[in-house]
Chains A and B, each alone.
Chain A
């Protein structure tokens, strides 16, 4: 198929940037979206132009590096996939596809479609961990039984890949799904309960400092999340936060 691509080009963080149109031809149905962009970049390199910079790495939907707002949706029109798993069979010959970087004050553009998501790292550094040292002398892994339902739910929350689609898609650029997922994972496990109060307070504070918006429960994040993280994680975070702020000194 032949396509017209409208892509955000921005030389560096100081550049104002603009949308630029490109044409690509002979795109196969079986290609992934990023492979289609590879074709474009090969074309650009061969004509001596700078290729479009975009983040990507594992190309199997788990590293969370790829992003892209495609036709107005984070990771494109398909559900439950990242951009690298989006296949061109979702598009048809003659389509015009708009490709923009994830937009948020907390995600400044570095170049073209590459954004800086280090705000997520800083939120994790504020409390997204359990304070145990690597001694090898922790108690046996089976010493605390954890109900399967809790372990499974913790796992569901833990599958977050930190791609930022929730922020990109939220009309408020809110990061609550991301933070809610991490808070939930630990809140559900006995090992994480120990520091649960400090954790939720610190992570929420850091999230606010980074300049993310507020949650208005539109649910868009849940729909666009490639890993299907549920809104229940945000509710749990709210609950944890509420009880921590009421009971903590």
Chain B
């Protein structure tokens, strides 16, 4: 247990970061030129870190599996980015953002980290505006905000429904500037396949060139893992097809503890599944819940009529609709946090009220928003006695201006016009709060190996609030890691270039090559996707939105047997020397098959319900909160950090006890 030292600085919470920064070691600019840093992944965290480290003077080598750093999956984030600017004057502050994030995370995050995140959040917005990120503005020319789930203020900055894209392009542009200066060496279409440890420190990686198939050795004085989350363990998720756990998992196998793998965010507003061929799920931004009302019919016969196409949802009378979120959570209504909204949707669908053929969909309805905005517009435009049609027309324009691209995306996929008929939505895997364990410096348990952004176990506890992922990724990359890494690298100014000819690199490369050869020469009979889909089904059914002991034990066994079968029977056509997309997938799925087991093991260990992790055994049995998730602070107020010892089943649990000095532990109530 002593292995975990979170290195949280002393002092009052609001001064910790400032005092800490004042005291840490710095590397002088002349010495930075002699220090190399590898960054794996170029999303918001990796991209911003690469750019900033290069600006500071380090030699950065950045790696991404895509054909350009601009395509990392941060790009798909739609809704926005939180920052405690209090531009709206609605009572926001660093403390409130800190408080909301800890509460939203169901009191399973580290206070000091979260407070630091809140402190730097404002700087992110300043920085991005200076970089030319075109955030939405009001008519006065100042920045606009909107509101997201789980909070009572408007602190979300956005750029249409493409905030992630714009922020990533901002980080990418900062990278480009450094690539042009030669301070970042960019390796596109490269995948990290192992981390190399020399004398107990992370000193490089083994990467595969995805175009030529070459296995390459890259050395550095520190390695930063910024490879995102592992939601694709479910096969179907809102993650990109290529999103994977490989980099994080390889670091785990080399000694980095993996924390809270069971904390997964199932996002409530995704487009429902339509068939077995489906390759991924599409998110509809949470921002839609600002204006959309979620409902299912009250009566089973109406459900039947809707499913069979006899009844149109728009024809169902107001009193026959069950706005279940508004009913259950009057204070937050449709803006409850994601985990709560997702479980509520599942509850209704499990009870038989799902509105599509698969029974796994609820309505997200914009009718009342359209009418409300339309009436407002009619008033602004001085149209007296506006007809209902006119009001709807005006309202649709407002809704289009706010969410036009999302509505268009929905229509393209589902082939229904969401202005005229309510959207159908259902929860889907979206984000993973768990990840590589890091201390206050964002360093993993391997010295010199850092993890930032979604790849680390993060500041979101057991549940992440909307628009906080972008904030955390950029905070880590722009404002936290560049300081903390210097503290470590200050000891490396005399080390000199790290050689790639050491036995450690030799061993790691052989390890990678052997595994690739094994996959290519396996000559099995089943495709990679066959195994991935099976894994995904087990994960979704037994380690999904709702978990219980029996299911989890079964899941562990099933995942193990799928993994055994995979290695016996997977077929990877083609060779290893050249572009081979099946080989890439095979390597990633092999790692998911190991992670999946640890995931279930962690879920089994955590016999409480908290945030995205819901154990059927742990619910409130009576009182106002009856049926809601029940947290167990006495036994589980810790971070579960798992040490790899050769097999996921033998992973050793280390506990980092969470201390709450500034926030009182309370039942999370959104009623």
Contact of A147 among B52, B141, B283 (CB under 8 A): B141
Instruction: Say yes or no: is B579 at the interface (Cβ < 8 Å to chain A).
Output: yes
| Per-residue A-contact encoding for B527-539, CB less than 8 Å = 1, 0 else | 1110000000000
Does A242 touch B at the CB level, under 8 Å?
no
Instruction: For chain B, residues 109 to 162, give those with C-beta under 8 angstroms from any C-beta of chain A.
Output: 120, 123, 125-132, 134-143, 159-160, 162
A249 within 8 A of B: no
Task: Determine the chain A residues whose CB is within 8 A of the CB of B69 once the complex forms.
Answer: 121
Choice from B72, B174, B275 contacting A129 with Cβ under 8 Å:
B174
**A136 touching B73, Cβ below 8 Å:** no
Complex contact B242–A57 (CB within 8 A):
yes
Instruction: Say whether, besides A63-B75, A121-B176, A134-B127, A58 and B132 are in contact (CB < 8 Å).
Output: no
Q: Are A87 and B279 in contact (CB under 8 A)?
A: no
Which residues of chain B come closer than 8 Å to A205, judged between CB atoms? none
Using known A-B contacts A63-B240, A128-B176, A161-B165, determine if residue A136 contacts B126 with beta carbons closer than 8 Å: yes
Bound Cα distance from A30 to B159, whole angstroms:
30
Among B406-414, B488-496, B595-603, B622-630, the stretch that binds chain A is B406-414
Cβ of B397 within 8 Å of any chain A Cβ, yes or no, is no
The verdict on A65 contacting B67 (CB below 8 Å), with A141-B129, A192-B132 known, is: yes
Q: How far is the CA of A236 from the CA of B154 in the complex (A)?
A: 35
A45 within 8 A of B: yes
Partner-binding segment picked from A33-41, A93-101, A169-177 = A33-41
- Residues of A with C-beta under 8 A to B70: 64, 121, 162
Instruction: Flag whether A198 is at the interface (Cβ < 8 A).
Output: no
Using Cβ atoms and an 8 Å threshold, which residues of chain A touch B179?
121, 125
A155 touches B240 (CB 8 A): no
Residues of A within 8 A of B275 (CB): 28, 30-31
Known contacts A85-B412, A124-B176, A116 near B571 by CB under 8 Å: no
Q: How many of A's residues come within 8 Å of B, CB to CB?
A: 78
A223 on interface, CB distance cutoff 8 Å: no
Residues of A183-197 contacting chain B, CB below 8 A:
185-186, 189, 191-192
A151 touches B180 (CB 8 A): no
- Known A62-B162, A155-B166: A57·B71 in contact at CB below 8 Å: yes
| In contact, B55 and A148 (Cβ under 8 angstroms) | no
Find chain A residues with CB under 8 A from B128 CB.
Answer: 141
A18 to B129, CA, bound (A): 48
A16 CB–B CB distance under 8 Å: no
Q: Which of A42, A116, A129, A134 has the most CB of B within 10 A?
A: A134
Q: Please name the residue on chain A nearest to B69 by beta carbon.
A: A121
Quick check: which of A1-9, A47-55, A212-220 contacts chain B, the rest being far away? A47-55
Q: How far is the CA of A58 from the CA of B73 in the complex (A)?
A: 7
- The residue on B at minimum CB distance from A163 is B71
Please state if A136 and B479 are interface contacts (CB–CB under 8 Å).
Answer: yes
Question: Does B68 contact A59, Cβ atoms closer than 8 Å?
Answer: no
Least distance between A159 CB and chain B CB atoms (Å):
6
Task: List residues 139-164 of chain A with CB under 8 A from any CB of chain B.
Answer: 139-142, 145-148, 151-152, 154-155, 158-159, 161-162
A99 CB to closest chain B CB, in angstroms? 16
A19 at the interface (CB under 8 A from B): no
Instruction: Tell me whether B71 and A186 are in contact (CB under 8 A).
Output: no
* Pair A87/B127 contact, Cβ less than 8 Å: no
A145 touches B142 (CB 8 A): yes
Asked if B19 is an interface residue, CB under 8 A from chain A, the answer is no
Please determine whether A63 and B76 come into contact, CB atoms closer than 8 angstroms. Answer: yes
CB-CB under 8 A from A159, the residues of chain B are: 160, 162, 165
Query: A124: which B residues are within 8 A, CB to CB?
Result: 172-173, 176
Q: Which residue of A lies closest to B578 (CB)?
A: A12
Asked if A20 is at the interface of the complex by the 8 Å CB criterion, the answer is no
Contact of A189 with B277 at beta-carbon distance under 8 Å, contacts A12-B578, A59-B241 already known: no
Does any Cβ of A come within 8 Å of B280's Cβ?
Answer: yes
Min CB distance A75 to B, Å, is 12
Question: With an 8 A cutoff between CB atoms, is A23 at the interface?
Answer: no
Interface-centre pick from B137, B159, B412 (highest chain A CB count, 10 A)? B137
**A134-B51 in contact (CB<8A):** yes
Q: Are A145 and B141 in contact (CB under 8 A)?
A: yes
Pairwise interchain contact B76-A129, C-beta atoms closer than 8 A: no
- Separation in Å of the B520 CB from the closest CB of chain A? 12
Residue in chain A with minimal CB distance to B180: A125
- The reply to whether A42 and B409 contact each other, CB–CB distance below 8 Å, is no
> A residues within 8 A CB of B280?
59-60
Find the residue from B68, B134, B211 having the highest chain A CB count within 10 A.
Answer: B134
**Chain B neighbourhood of A131, CB < 8 A:** 177
Q: Residue A114 at the B interface, CB < 8 A?
A: yes
A188 to B136, CA, bound (A): 14
Q: Does A92 have its Cβ within 8 Å of any Cβ on chain B? A: no
User: From A157, which residue of chain B is reached at the shortest CB distance?
Assistant: B134
Q: Specify which chain A residues have a CB less than 8 angstroms from the CB of B136 in the assembled complex.
A: 151, 155
B274 adjacent to A30 (CB under 8 Å): yes
Does the CB pair B68–A12 fall under 8 Å?
no
Q: Is the CB of A81 within 8 A of B66?
A: no
Kindly state the separation between the CA atoms of A59 and B236 in the bound complex, as whole angstroms. 12
Show 19 A/B contacts (Cβ-Cβ < 8 Å), sorted by A: A32-B413, A45-B527, A56-B241, A58-B241, A63-B240, A121-B69, A121-B186, A125-B176, A130-B131, A132-B131, A138-B130, A141-B85, A141-B129, A142-B85, A145-B137, A147-B141, A155-B159, A155-B160, A158-B169
Residues of B within 8 A of A (CB): 48, 51-52, 55, 66-73, 75-76, 85, 87, 120, 123, 125-132, 134-143, 159-160, 162, 165-166, 169, 172-174, 176-177, 179-180, 186, 188, 211, 238, 240-242, 274-275, 277-280, 282-283, 408-409, 412-413, 415, 478-479, 482, 527-529, 571, 573-574, 578-579, 581-582
Question: Would you list the 8 A-B pairs with minimal beta carbon distance, nearest first?
Answer: A145-B141, A129-B173, A136-B123, A155-B134, A138-B130, A154-B134, A141-B129, A57-B240
In the complex, besides A49-B573, A142-B87, 16 extra interface pairs with C-beta distance below 8 angstroms are: A39-B277, A57-B242, A59-B279, A59-B282, A60-B280, A117-B67, A130-B130, A134-B48, A134-B174, A134-B482, A142-B143, A146-B141, A152-B134, A155-B159, A155-B160, A162-B68
Chain A contacts to B: CB under 8 angstroms: 11-12, 28, 30-32, 34-35, 38-39, 42, 44-46, 48-51, 53, 55-65, 78, 80-81, 85, 87, 89, 110-111, 114, 116-118, 120-121, 124-126, 128-136, 138-142, 145-148, 151-152, 154-155, 158-159, 161-162, 185-186, 189, 191-192
